[in-house]
Amino acid sequence: MQGFAGFMWLLSMALIVFSGFALLDAATRREDAYRAADKKTKPFWLIILALAFVVNLIFNILSFLPIIGLIATIVYMVDVRPALRGLPGGGRTRKGGSSSDGPYGPYNGNR
């Protein structure tokens, strides 16, 4: 019985890491990338994935709530994340840059 409990603990830790990774990945994507990929909004996915992460922290894996959270995390990882990564720049937030930067580089006003 102790082996089963150890396996369930490892499975629970794997779910926490998986949902945490998905939450961090969703948080680092640009808001407009979700619209460009024709997916739900960034706040929607952040709320869903944060709930999945908290549920995985609180509840036992044998409960149905972590399974629902796992399904939501899998949907993000299999459907939304590849669509965001397929966009130019991978949908990631940019560091630096200018407010005059366009999609193909800086706009200099025909100078």
Domain-located, residue 42: yes
Beta-bridge partner residues of 101: 106
Domain-located, residue 7: no
pLDDT interval class at 1 (50, 70, 90): confident
Q: Distance between alpha carbon 94 and the CA centroid of its chain, in Å?
A: 17
Q: What is the pLDDT of residue 102?
A: 60
Q: Are 52 and 19 in contact (CB under 8 A)?
A: yes
Mean pLDDT value of segment 2-27: 92
Domain that holds residue 28: 16-87
Domain-located, residue 60: yes
74: tokens are 């899998």
Domains in the chain, number:
1
CB neighbourhood size of 48 (10 A): 19
- For residue 31, give every residue at least 6 positions away whose Cβ sits within 8 Å of its Cβ, in sequence order, or none: 41, 42
Mean pLDDT value of segment 66-76: 94
Domain-located, residue 109: no
Domain-located, residue 40: yes
Q: Are 18 and 49 in contact (CB under 8 A)?
A: no
